Amino acid sequence: MNPGFGSRLAQIKDAHSEAARFRTRAIIGFLLIAACLSVLGLRFAYLQINRHQEFSARSDQNRISIRRVAPTRGLIYDRNGVLLADNVAAFRLEVVPEQVKDMARLLGELGGVIALSDDDIEHFNSLRRSKHAFESIPLRFKLSEDEIARFSTERWRFPGVDIVPYLTRSYPHGEEFAHLVGYVGRIDEADAEKLDAARYAGTTHIGKTGIERSYENDLHGEPGYDLVEVNVDKRPLRVIERVPPTPGKNLYLSVDVRMQRAAMDAFEGRAGAAVALDPRNGEVLAMVCVPSFDPNLFVNGIGKVDYATLLNAPDRPLLNRAIAGGYTPGSTVKPYVALGGLELGLRRPSDTVLSTGEFFIPGQARGYRDDKRGGHGRVDLVQAIAQSVNTYFYSLALDMGIDRFSGWMAKFGFGKPTGIDLIGESAGVLPSREWKRGRMNQAFYPGETVIAGIGQGYWVITPIQLAQAVSILAARGVRHRPHLVRAIQDGLNVPPAPVALPPADSNILHNVENWGPVQQGMVAVVNGGGTASGLGKEFPYVIAGKTGTAERFSRTDEEWTSISTAPIERHEVLFEAFTPADDARIALIVALEAGRSGAHDAAPIVRKILDIWVKDDDVRNVAGPSP
C-alpha cells in the first residue's frame, strides 16, 4: 500500500510528466465524448428530420380519434304527405361500466326499478365487450314515463346509470304498412359485416325489411363526426373540430294511406294480399298483406316470446304476401291467353269453340272439365272470358303449344320478379319446357299445356306479378315497372324531386286492335252477365275484371262440383280489375288464400278499394304526378 522508499524522488520528478499525460488523456477523453454526443445528435437529427413526417403522422394518429355522429334517419310519407315512418323522441337507460363497482348487483337492483328482460341484459353484455369501459352503453330502450319517474327518485342509488334522450323510429300506421314500409332494427353482427363501418359507426339501427331496407342508402344519411383529442386510453379530452351529420333523405311513396286502410279493412282478417297500380306509370297505389303485425315491436328489439309467436303463427303474419306469396292464378290468366291467341294469329275474335263440359286432347281418354256441367255451348272470345269457359282456353293453349304459350305469357312478367323497389320478391313459376326440365328433368306433356291454359298446374304467381300483368293489359300493352317511391326530398328546404323512372318498355302488342275484344270480355265479366256481374253497380266508371278460382286441395272425388256451390275455403280466390275500362287509371288485384270463388270473396274487396280510390280520382288527376 505504501509507496516504496526510493520512489519518492521519482514521484516528484514524474509529477510534471504525469500532469502532461493527464492533459493528453483528458483531451482524448473530451474528443471521444464530443464524438459520442455527435452520434447522439445525429440520431436525433435522423429521427427529427429524416423521419419527421412519419413520426408526425403517427403522433397525430395517436392523438386524434374520430367520433362519428349518427345522422337522423329520413322520414317516409305517403303520396299526400301523411307520415308513415317518423322519428320520435324517447328515453333510454345507459350505463357507464367504469363507474359501476358491482355490475351484477347493479343490474339486479336496477331490475327492481325498471323492468329488464333477459334480452336487454344479454344485448347489453354483448355491447359491453366491444366498447371501452368509459363509454355509455344502452341497457333499456323506450322507457315509459312511469319508469322515468320511478328511476328519477331512485337515481342516487345507481351511480353510472343515466337516462338519455334519443330518437327512435315510430310507425304511426302500424300494421297497415308493416310489410310495405318495413321496419328498422338494431344492427346485428350479420348486418355489421356487410356495412361500411365508417358510415355506420354511430348508427344503432338499420332498415331490416320493406322500404326501410331497400332505401336504406337514401334514408340513412351521412354521418358527421367530431375530431376528438384522446389520451392513451382513447378517453376523449376535447373536441377539435365538429362536422354535423347530413340527415337522411325523406321518401314520398305513391301509396295512399286511406286506400291502404280501406283495403286492409276490406279483408276482414282473411289471409291474402291486394295490390293496386297506376297503369299509366307503375306507381303502387296500395299494397296490403293480411294478416300483419306491429312493426313498432321490432324497432328496439322484439322479445323472444313475441317473435316466436309471430314466426310460428300458422297464417304467417311476417310473410310479405304481396311480393313473396305464391298463388295459383287460375282463370285470371285467361284474358292474357286470349290476347295471345289473337296476337299469334291462332284465333279471330269471332272464332267460336263448342263447350260440352269436357275437353279431350285428340287421341287421349282423359277429360278436362268445364266448370259448368254440360258445358257453355258455343262461345266466342268475349263470352269465353265473361263466362270463364275452360274449353276455349284448353284448345287455345293446345294450339299455341307450351313454347309459344310461355313465351307470350312472359311478356306480362310472369315467372320473373317485377323489379319493384322492395327486397325479397319471389319469381313465381311460369310453366315452360325449360322450367320443367330444370326443375324435374322431364319433358312437358300436352295435358300440362292444356291446364296451363286456365292457370292451373305448375303456375305460381305473386300478387304483384298479377297486378303488373293486369296493369300492362289496362295500359294496352305498355309495361311500367311497379314502384313505391315517387319522390325523394334531399334536405329540409328542397322540394321533393320526383324519382326518374326507366322509360316504359315498348308495347308488347303487335296489333293494338287485338286489345279491344279482350277488354270487352273483361268488361262483360262485370257488366255483361259474366262471372262477377253486379260488381260495377253504381260505380261512376266502367270496370273491367276477371275472376280466378283455383283448387286449394286436389280433387279426390269424381263429383262434379261447381265453383258457385263449392264450400267456403275450398279455393284460392282472386280478382283482377282495371277502371275506367277504356282509359284505366287504376289496375288492381285481390288474392285470398281461402274462399268460395273469386267473384264471391275477392271481387267485393276490389270494389271497396275502388270506392275509396274514386273519391280522390279527380283530385289526383288534376294534381298531377308531383306530391
Partner 1 sequence: MTRNLLLRLELWALRALRRPYYDLPLLGALLVLATTGLVTLYSASDLDRHLVLNQAARFLLGGVLMLAIARIPPQVLRNWTPWLYVASLMLLIAVAVLGQGRGANRWLNLGIMRFQPSELVKLTLPMMVAWYLHARDLPPKWLTLGAVALLIGAPALLIAKQPDLGTALLVAASGVFAVFLAGLAWWRIAIVLGAAAGAAPLAWHFMHEYQRNRLRMFLDPEADPLGNGWHIIQSEIAVGSGGWLGKGWHHGTQSRLEFLPEHTTDFVFAVFSEEWGLLGVIALLLLYLFIVGRGLMIAANARDTYSRLLAGAISMAFFVYVMVNGGMITGLLPVVGVPLPLISYGGTSAVSLLAGFGVLMSIHAHRRLLPR
Catalytic machinery residues: 331
Q: Nearer Cβ to partner 1, position 22 or 560?
A: 22
Please give the grid coordinates belonging to residue 348. 279471330
Window 261-300: contact mask with partner 1 (x via CB under 8 A) = ----------------------------------------
Quote the cell numbers at residue 543. 270496370
* Identity of the residue, 212 or 226, whose beta carbon is nearer to partner 1 in the bound complex: 226
Which residues between 207 and 266 bind partner 1 (CB under 8 A)? 229-233, 237
Q: How far is the CB of 28 from partner 1 (least distance, A)?
A: 9
Contact between 12 and partner 1 by CB under 8 A: the answer reads: no
Name residues contacting partner 1, limited to 151-170 (CB under 8 A): none
Question: Please, what is the minimum distance in Å from the beta carbon of residue 13 to partner 1?
Answer: 12
Which residue number, 41 or 534, has a Cβ lying nearer to partner 1? 41
Q: Is 438 in the site for partner 1 (CB under 8 A)?
A: no
Handedness of CA 225, 205, 323, 574 (dihedral sign): negative
The phi-psi region of residue 22 (left if phi > 0; otherwise alpha if psi is between -120 and 50; otherwise beta) is: alpha
Spatial neighbors of 515 by CB under 8 A, at least 6 apart, are 339, 473, 476, 477, 509
Cis peptide before 291 (omega within 30 of 0): yes
Instruction: Show the 3-state SS of 436-466.
Output: HHHHHCCCCCHHHHHHHCCCCCCCEECHHHH
Contact call for residue 132 and partner 1 (CB under 8 A): no
**In a 10 Å sphere around its CB, with 0-12 CB exposed, 13-18 middle and 19+ buried, how is residue 419 labelled?**
middle
Tell which residue, 317, 325, 260, has the closest CA to residue 593: 325
Report the distance separating Cα 440 and Cα 435, nearest Å. Answer: 8
Q: Where are the alpha helices (DSSP H) in 453-589?
A: 463-474, 515-527
Stretch that binds partner 1, among 51-59, 345-353, 534-542, 553-561 (CB under 8 A): 51-59
- Helical (H) or strand (E) element with 130: helix 118-130
Among 37, 88, 115, 354, binds partner 1 (CB under 8 A): 37
Sequence letter at residue 183: Y
Question: In whole angstroms, how close is the CB of 8 to partner 1 at the nearest point?
Answer: 11
With CB under 8 A as the contact rule, which of the stretches 52-60, 339-347, 405-413, 495-503 interacts with partner 1? 52-60
133 binds partner 1 (CB under 8 A): no
In angstroms, what is the minimal distance from the CB of 139 to partner 1?
A: 30
Of 9 and 104, nearer to partner 1 (C-beta) is 9
Part in contact with partner 1 (CB under 8 A); list of ranges 35-43, 117-125, 160-168, 419-427: 35-43
Which of 13, 21, 348, 439 binds partner 1 (CB under 8 A)? It is 21
Stretch in the footprint of partner 1 (CB under 8 A) among 18-26, 90-98, 115-123, 149-157: 18-26
User: What is the spatial distance between Cα 522 and Cα 512, in angstroms, rounded to a whole number?
Assistant: 16
The amino acid at 42: L
Residue 445 in contact with partner 1, rule: CB under 8 A: no
- Does 9 bind partner 1 (CB under 8 A)? Our answer is no
Residue 560 is a binding residue for partner 1 (CB under 8 A): no
Give the integer Cα–Cα distance in Å for 142 and 117.
13
Q: Which stretch binds partner 1 (CB under 8 A): 12-20, 162-170, 418-426, 575-583?
A: 12-20
Q: CB of residue 12 vs partner 1: minimum separation in angstroms?
A: 11
Question: Is residue 41 part of the contact set for partner 1 (CB under 8 A)?
Answer: yes
Consecutive H or E run containing 18: helix 7-45
CA 481/CA 32 separation, integer angstroms: 87
Binding track over 59-98 against partner 1, x by CB under 8 A: x--xx-----------------------------------
Residues in the chain: 627
Q: Which three three-digit cell numbers place residue 433? A: 319446357
Instruction: Give the C-alpha distances (Å, rounded to integers) separating 181 from 378, 464, 555, 567.
Output: 49, 16, 39, 36
Does residue 583 bind partner 1 (CB under 8 A)?
A: no
Report which secondary-structure segment, H or E, holds 206: strand 205-207
Regarding 443 and contact with partner 1 (CB under 8 A), the answer is: no
Rule CB under 8 A: is residue 13 a binding residue for partner 1? Answer: no
- Kindly tell me which of 23 and 304 has the beta carbon lying closer to partner 1: 23
134 binds partner 1 (CB under 8 A): no
Q: Which is nearer to partner 1, 18 or 434 (CB)?
A: 18
Query: Please, what is the minimum distance in Å from the beta carbon of residue 3 to partner 1?
Result: 6
- Residue 53 or 153: the one with the smaller Cβ distance to partner 1 is 53
- Contact flag: residue 58 with partner 1 (CB under 8 A): yes
For partner 1, the closer of residues 7 and 562 by Cβ is 7
DSSP notation for 350-406: T--EEE-SEEE-TT---EEE-SSTT--EEE-HHHHHHHT-HHHHHHHHHHHHHHHHH
Q: Tell which one of 5, 6, 12, 49 touches partner 1 (CB under 8 A).
A: 49
Stretch that binds partner 1, among 17-25, 107-115, 170-178, 480-488 (CB under 8 A): 17-25
Work out how close the CB of 128 gets to partner 1 at its nearest, in angstroms, rounded to a whole number: 22
With CB under 8 A as the contact rule, the residue among 5, 6, 12, 19 that binds partner 1 is: 19
What is the rounded (10 degree) CA torsion for 423, 424, 425, 428? Answer: 160
Q: Which is nearer to partner 1, 41 or 491 (CB)?
A: 41
- Strand ranges inside 466-596, DSSP E: 485-489, 497-498, 544-551, 571-579, 586-595
Shortest Cβ 67–partner 1 spacing (Å):
16
Q: Smallest Cα–Cα separation from 444: which of 457, 461, 462, 426?
A: 457
Find the helix or strand (DSSP H, E) in which 119 lies. helix 118-130
Chain positions 355 to 374 lying near partner 1, rule: CB under 8 A, are none
CA-based torsion, 586, 587, 590, 596: positive or negative: positive
Give yes or no for residue 36 binding partner 1 (CB under 8 A): yes
Nearest distance, CB of residue 15 and partner 1, angstroms: 8
Give whichever of 19 and 622 is closer to partner 1, judged by the CB atom: 19
- From the CB of 129, what's the least distance to partner 1, in Å? 19
Between 101 and 238, name the residue whose CB sits nearer to partner 1.
238
Which residue in 467, 80, 561 sits closest to 275, CA to CA? 467
**Closest to 72 in 3D by CA, of 244, 269, 320:** 244
Residues forming the site for partner 1 (CB under 8 A): 1-3, 7, 14, 18-19, 21-23, 25-26, 29-30, 33-34, 36-37, 39-41, 43-45, 47-49, 51-52, 54-56, 58-59, 62-63, 229-233, 237
